[in-house]
Structure 1
Amino acid sequence: MKEYNIQRHYSAKHQDYKACSGQIRKDRVQSLIRELSVQQNIFTNTNSESEKAVRASFAISKLIAKKYKPFTDGEFIKECVITLAQIMCPEKQKLFENISLSRMTISRRIENLSTDLKLTLEKRASEFQYYSLALDESTDATDTAQLAVFVRRIDSKFNLTEELANLHSLHDKTTGVDIYKAVMNGIDAIGLKLNNLCEVTTDGAPSMIGKERGFVALLEKERINSGSSTMKLVKVHCIIHQENLCSKSLRMQGVMEIVVKAINFIRARGLNHRQFRKLLDEMNSQYGDLLYYTEVRWLSRGAMLRRFYELKEEVFHFMEEKGKPVFHLNDPLWLYTGVYAIEINSLCKEFENRFKDLRSNIVNFAIFSNPFSLEPIELPEHLQLELVDMQCNQDLKAKFNDVTLMDFYQKYLSSSDYPNLVKHCKMMACLFGSTYICEQLFSQMKLVKSKCRTVLTDRHLEDTLRIATTDMEQNIDHIVRPMRHQSSSMSK
């Protein structure tokens, strides 16, 4: 600023200070400086308190998403916090009142948190040396098809992560072409490259594994057409689904009919159910109730049969008292031979057929899981010399027996000494074995989008599940810093 301008401002605005001189003038200057400092601190403290209120709003929104709670719960949480403040620290009540937890605010916070996670995933995509996909489809409370796509990736340091890549809402058909388009759009948005894709795990639906128009077939064609098929794509039909299909070959219909009929008689009627639970309590039974079984959630069958078998004596006594005796429960042949032994051979044959795709990769799995037990001649040529060198290294062999598998590859197997082996083991490490992670997501989806929350949008459903399932750490301060901070009263 020019001296003339300063002089003119002083003459026009501060003529009164001309009368001050010496120590009086110095004291007056110090007083003005202190007043300015106080004014600046007022703004600083206000900004600091507003920023803390926004951080608290984000932290509570994150908890709401992780616990699958409705967005409207934020308002109830605020009421609880203010009530606590009134009792515990009334002088700080105003601070808690400034935290914005309205339904709209919670929805915006969850959108911001989810966007931050997606951006982080996109940034890390360049670090993915190899990745695999697991995908499955189910319907939500409004019968909308939801396609869950998870990515499992590995970086140069053998660090593994699993994250929800996308949750696609399919409002029309769910053919292989529809699934293919949705998945390709999703991985393109993240920045994943097809030449780094080493495995795909799906269920056995025709839309997934159809030979011509299934998702896997279309993906394989795209890799060939784009020149991304430098390595063989491992295609896995979910192991858990295959085990379920194998179990269908067992002649268990007679067993299931008897068991399900008995359970329904006990649990479907309120009086019977109460009396049965009282009987279990009187007999000091290990369990307090029987379990239901549903064909849709087929994993429940094993748990249901196990619980029924362990409570067979209690069930027998109860059904006999009710005039509905189940004589099979006293028949050892029915309990053991009839249920298990007769079907072992057919089950083995079914497993033989179902797991052909995994058996074709058994050597590849063994190279990763136990390389010191293999004969080099059994391996592909480009791995044989490196395996011989590794097996001759006694230090590596000792470490392999002392540490976990992933620690061994992370800390002791050098990519410069064993480049092909390291590359192969990274691909094996990032494989999905099943779509169980998708099944878990669908269970969480039923809590997020329940019959009481059917108006939840597709975006908010995906955002909530992304936050609820992530293992990535989020820096809320990084999200809050560029935002304009407002108190709750202003944001309304």
Structure 2
Amino acid sequence: MLIAKSKKSHNIGESLIKPSILCAAELVLGKDSANKLSQISLSNDTVKKKIDELSQDIKDQTLNQVRASTVFAIQCDETTDIAQCSQLLMYARFVSGNNIKEEILFCHPMESCTTAEAIFHDTSNFFQENQLSWESLVGVCTDGAPAKRGLRSEFVTKVKEKNPSVMSTHCILHREALASRTLPAEVMDVLNVAIKVVNFIKARALNIRLFKLLCKDMESEHEALLFHTNVRWLSKGNMLGRLYELQKEVAIFLDSQQKADFHDNFQSEGFQIPLAYLVDIFEALNAVNLKLQGKSINIITHHDTIRAKLDLWKCRVQQGNAASFRNLDSALADSNLDSDLKQQIITHLSDLKAEFIRYFPDIDEKREAWKFIRNPFQCEVADADEVQEEFLELKFNSTAKEDFKDMDLETFWVKYLLVYPLISHQALRILRMFGSTYLCETAFSTLVAIKTKFRNRLNVEGDLRCAFDHVFKIW
């Protein structure tokens, strides 16, 4: 279990751990004790066998809990590993005791294509083999890929054929990242110049070393710039932020390398002030993205987070006030916003709002529909007419009101599931849904560490399940 949790190669038991144990035992306890401990088997095959047995035990416990839960939700995603094998990963969210838990259901290699039909076939077989009920499934969260949410052959459509009441969710992280890509042409030109400057310094090892020495001589806080990668959602903001912090060092380096075209563009006011705005806006978008990540974040929290302050920012900019943007405000000093830049920022914020509305068209509607879940004690009885009597009892239950103040939302509704089953069941149907595929993305990062080019034939499911298990104790 410790080897699996550390994501190390299985032969580390025989090559490092066992020799260390024997050396320590001989020094502390004597040769006889060391000879007894030498009988412990920690070979590659033994470690793999034990990891698979532990994984099977964890899987059995998880499936028992999912079957015992009245409803559950799933999130699924697939990726291609180092061996060019497509791995389909699925997580489940369900009630266990007084808590809502999130656990891996399976990680299966897909032997052929990754179409909607193939993904559904694997999922359906798993449900059938493990006696999981389609009727208990309330939500499916996917990343928006055509195979999962396409117009004709989508995975979600096939799931709804099994259970029409299933609610589907397009990962809110993906939607936020897609909505954030819009930029006016003039601001995009500034971003492209910034990327070219970074690429010039980072493209050659000699430039990297010289720039590092320059930063050391100037006692800078950082000694390197950061690359921008489109598929890494936070990298654009991180790259711009680091470039802005090292703008003096970059200008000196470009001048020393006789890159007059880059240097003149980089030093001009027409570049520096828009760059300050880009740093600020991507810093704000990155902050929103980070709030959407994490375990045990429900879909209501996601929808509350996504309501950005775009209208406030736009109103202030229209008045010539850049106070909402820290770096831009500092770069302007006592001067006013240039009319062209002001119009570019207003256009960008308007486009950004339009994109958020396009990718989140029902956010206000859902917020209104879910307000009885968020706080049943500030909701009118008419808003819950299907279960009015039960709702009234809950609303005037003083003990429940005190519990609501002290507990998080999910724990509160789980506690009162037996007391107020109708309204609690409605609340938990929503709270058990996944808002993003964050857990799958996290597991894929771990999969990269476990399945490397040195052990590319590894069946990774057992190691992955043990690596993420938090219940198993080492006694």
TM-score, with normalisation over the residues of structure 1? 0.75
Contact 1:199 1:236 in 2 (8 A): yes
Letter in 1 for 2:253: F
- Tell me the SS of whatever aligns to 1:266: helix
1:262 and 2:164 are equivalent in the alignment: no
Contact 2:79 2:444 in 1 (8 A): yes
Structure 1 equivalent of residue 9 of structure 2: 70
Structure 2 equivalent of residue 80 of structure 1: 20
Structure 2 equivalent of residue 469 of structure 1: 468
Query: Shift in Å at residue 440 of structure 1?
Result: 0.8
- How do residues 226-305 of structure 1 correspond to structure 2 at under 5 angstroms? 229=164, 232-251=165-184, 253-305=188-240
Structure 1 equivalent of residue 422 of structure 2: 420
Aligned mates of 1:364, 1:98 — CA distance in 2: 63
Aligned mates of 1:463, 1:265 — CA distance in 2: 44
The match for 2:154 among 214, 232, 237 is: 214
Query: Shift in Å at residue 86 of structure 1?
Result: 2.9
Query: Shift in Å at residue 65 of structure 1?
Result: 1.1
- Tell me the SS of whatever aligns to 1:350: helix
Contact 2:85 2:109 in 1 (8 A): yes
Contact 1:212 1:218 in 2 (8 A): no
Structure 2 equivalent of residue 127 of structure 1: 68
The match for 1:104 among 45, 65, 74 is: 45
Spell out, residue by residue over 1:329-375, the C-alpha distance to the aligned partner (whole angstroms, 9 max, x if none): 55343224577524111111111111125554323432222223333
Letter in 2 for 1:327: N
Structure 2 equivalent of residue 323 of structure 1: 258
Alignment RMSD (CA, Å)? 2.4
Spell out, residue by residue over 1:146-168, the C-alpha distance to the aligned partner (whole angstroms, 9 max, x if none): 1111111114x441111111112
1:142 and 2:83 are equivalent in the alignment: yes
Greater C-alpha Rg: 1
Query: Shift in Å at residue 395 of structure 1?
Result: 4.2
Structure 1 equivalent of residue 115 of structure 2: 175
Aligned mates of 1:357, 1:140 — CA distance in 2: 36
Letter in 2 for 1:427: R
The match for 1:453 among 455, 459, 464 is: 455
Aligned mates of 2:111, 2:417 — CA distance in 1: 49
Structure 2 equivalent of residue 200 of structure 1: 140
Aligned mates of 2:230, 2:169 — CA distance in 1: 23
- How do residues 386-405 of structure 1 correspond to structure 2 at under 5 angstroms? 386-405=390-409
Aligned mates of 2:246, 2:129 — CA distance in 1: 52
Aligned mates of 1:344, 1:317 — CA distance in 2: 33
Aligned mates of 1:355, 1:438 — CA distance in 2: 22
1:356 and 2:355 are equivalent in the alignment: no
Letter in 2 for 1:122: L
CA distance 1:409–1:145, change in 2 (3 Å): same
Letter in 2 for 1:159: N
CA distance 1:183–1:256, change in 2 (3 Å): farther
Contact 1:133 1:201 in 2 (8 A): yes
Contact 2:66 2:95 in 1 (8 A): no
Aligned mates of 2:423, 2:103 — CA distance in 1: 26
Which deviates the most, 323-332 or 72-81? 323-332
Aligned mates of 2:50, 2:168 — CA distance in 1: 38
Contact 2:14 2:42 in 1 (8 A): yes
Query: Shift in Å at residue 82 of structure 1?
Result: 1.8
TM-score, with normalisation over the residues of structure 2? 0.78
Aligned mates of 2:211, 2:127 — CA distance in 1: 53
Aligned mates of 2:141, 2:130 — CA distance in 1: 19
Show structure 2 runs of 5+ residues with no match. 282-344
1:190 and 2:124 are equivalent in the alignment: no
Letter in 2 for 1:397: K
- Tell me the SS of whatever aligns to 2:139: strand
Query: Shift in Å at residue 293 of structure 1?
Result: 2.4
Structure 1 equivalent of residue 104 of structure 2: 164
Which deviates the most, 398-407 or 65-74? 398-407
- Count of aligned residue pairs for this structure pair: 401
Structure 2 equivalent of residue 374 of structure 1: 379
Which deviates the most, 267-276 or 357-366? 357-366
CA distance 1:338–1:82, change in 2 (3 Å): closer
Contact 2:190 2:275 in 1 (8 A): no
Letter in 2 for 1:272: N
Structure 1 equivalent of residue 340 of structure 2: none
Aligned mates of 1:119, 1:403 — CA distance in 2: 30
Letter in 2 for 1:150: Y
Aligned mates of 2:138, 2:386 — CA distance in 1: 18
Contact 2:244 2:276 in 1 (8 A): no
Aligned mates of 2:128, 2:474 — CA distance in 1: 26
Percent of aligned pairs with the same amino acid: 31
Spell out, residue by residue over 1:37-64, the C-alpha distance to the aligned partner (whole angstroms, 9 max, x if none): xxxxxxxxxxxxxxxxxxxxxxxxx111
Contact 2:144 2:170 in 1 (8 A): yes
